[in-house]
Amino acid sequence: MAGISERAINKIQENRNKKLLGGYNSIPFGLKRLEQFVPGIQKPNYTILTANSGVGKTKVAKNMFVFRPYDFVKRNPESNIKFTVLYFCLEEPDDAFMQSYICYKLYKEYGQRISIKELRSQLKPEDKTAVIDEVTLERVNKMLPSLKEFEHDIHLIRDVDKPYSIYKYCTEFLEDNSIGDWTLSPRKIWMPDEKKTVTKIMRDRFIYNHPDHYVLVVVDHIGLIHPEKGQDLWEAIRVLSSRYLVNLRNIYGCSILVLQQQSSEKEKQQYTYKGASIESKLEPSLDGLGNCKETQRDADEVFGVFAPDRYEITEHRGYDITQLRDNYRSFSILKSRDGEANLRLGLFFDGAVNYIAEMKPAKEMNSDDYKNVLKRVGRA
pLDDT at 269 over 70: no
User: CA geometry: angle at 212 spanning 205 and 45, to 5°?
Assistant: 65
| Cβ proximity of 352 and 327 under 8 Å | no
Binned at pLDDT 50, 70 and 90, residue 278 comes out as low
Mean pLDDT of 231-259: 96
pLDDT at 274 over 70: no
CB hemisphere CA count around 340 (13 angstroms): 9
Mean pLDDT of 9-38: 90
pLDDT for the residue 328: 97
pLDDT at 294 over 90: yes
Alpha helices in the chain (DSSP H): 4-20, 57-61, 68-75, 94-110, 116-119, 134-142, 144-153, 163-176, 233-239, 246-250, 264-268, 278-282, 295-298, 321-324, 367-376
pLDDT for the residue 144: 97
For residues 72 and 63, what is the distance between their CA atoms, to the nearest angstrom?
12
pLDDT for the residue 146: 96
Binned at pLDDT 50, 70 and 90, residue 1 comes out as low
- The CA–CA distances, whole Å, from 45 to 71, 154, 256, 299 equal 21, 18, 6, 8
Which residue spans within 290-341 are E strands per DSSP? 301-306, 315-316, 319-320, 328-336
Residues of 330-348 as b/e, b for ≥16 C-beta within 10 angstroms?
Answer: bbbbbbbeeeeeebebbbb
- Of 312 and 48, more confident: 48
Percent of the chain with pLDDT over 90: 74
Enumerate residues 6+ apart whose C-beta is below 8 A from 179. 84, 173, 208, 209, 210, 213, 215
pLDDT for the residue 197: 86
- Of 365 and 204, more confident: 365
| Cβ proximity of 106 and 98 under 8 Å | no
Binned at pLDDT 50, 70 and 90, residue 268 comes out as low
For residues 89 and 222, what is the distance between their CA atoms, to the nearest angstrom?
10
Asked if omega into 39 is within 30° of 0 (cis), the reply is no
For residues 202 and 187, what is the distance between their CA atoms, to the nearest angstrom?
7
Mean pLDDT of 327-347: 90
The helix (run of H) or strand (run of E) holding residue 261 is strand 255-261
pLDDT for the residue 128: 82
Q: What's the mean per-residue pLDDT of the chain?
A: 91
Mean pLDDT of 87-108: 95
User: pLDDT (tens digit, 9 = 90+) per residue, 28-74?
Assistant: 999 999 999 999 999 999 999 999 998 999 999 999 999 999 999 99
For residues 290 and 246, what is the distance between their CA atoms, to the nearest angstrom?
19
Mean pLDDT of 234-239: 97
What domains are defined for the chain?
40-376 (3.40.50.300)
pLDDT for the residue 254: 97
User: pLDDT (tens digit, 9 = 90+) per residue, 135-185?
Assistant: 999 999 999 999 999 999 999 999 999 999 999 999 999 998 889 999 888
Asked if omega into 221 is within 30° of 0 (cis), the reply is yes
Which range is least confidently modeled, 48-52, 128-132, 141-145, 248-252? 128-132
